[in-house]
Amino acid sequence: MSQDPAVVRAEIERTRAELSRDVDELTDQANPKNIARRKVEGVKESAVGLKDDLREKVMGVADHGSDLGDRVGSVPGRARARTQGNPLAAGLIAFGVGLLVGGMIPASRAEQQAAAKVKDAAEPVKQQVADVAREAGENLREPAQDAVASVRETASDAVQTVKEDGRQAAGEVRDQAQDSAQQVRRS
């Protein structure tokens, strides 16, 4: 290593720049938003791969005359293999499949009737809650007014006390000033 100060300074600056770049890169990699983004991208890639595999399997059936059940049956295994060690990906895929299936199934008549019964049963409770809230408001109105009056009275008393204390202090200062003036005249 050179002893020339300019060379040493240049080397120090180069090392600082490298360290700064490394710290910035590590900060970027450790950022939770970036971690989540990378996980989501991985899930998307897995989903695209699964879709392509499924398309290949189904299209391959027509081309090769293979058994459709075997080809479609292997998709869950491949999904499991691609998401192994990545619970976020597995959870997102499961959520997506559940959402898709749930959206395709219409509400049954029994579910519609149950929802109507719950709505009808909730109506009296809703009315009772409104009545209780109204009654509570009426019951609290008088104590609130009393509290406001009490605060006003306390504030008024405090103002009077401050005025009286101010007058008294002003009188004492005036008396002291007069005493001081008389002592100065006597001296």
Question: Tens digits of per-residue pLDDT, 121-166?
Answer: 888 888 888 888 888 778 878 887 888 888 888 878 888 888 888 8
Of 50, 117, 51, the C-alpha closest to 77 is 50
- Conformation bin of residue 47: beta by default, left when phi > 0, alpha when psi is -120 to 50: alpha
Quote the distance between the C-alpha of residue 79 and its chain's center. 32
Specify whether 77 is located in the same domain as 10.
yes
Domain boundary, last residue among 85, 109, 133? 109
Same domain, 56 and 87: yes
Average pLDDT, the chain: 75
Residues spanned by the domain of 75: 5-109
Structural domain ending residue among the three candidates 75, 109, 143: 109
Query: Pick from 58, 59, 46: which is nearest to 96 by CA?
Result: 46
Cα gap 41→48, rounded to integer Å:
10
Q: Are residues 149 and 73 in the same domain?
A: no
Instruction: Name the pTM for this structure.
Output: 0.30
The residue from 65, 88, 109 where one domain ends is 109
Q: Which residue type, as a one-letter code, is found at position 54?
A: L
Q: How many domains does the chain have?
A: 2
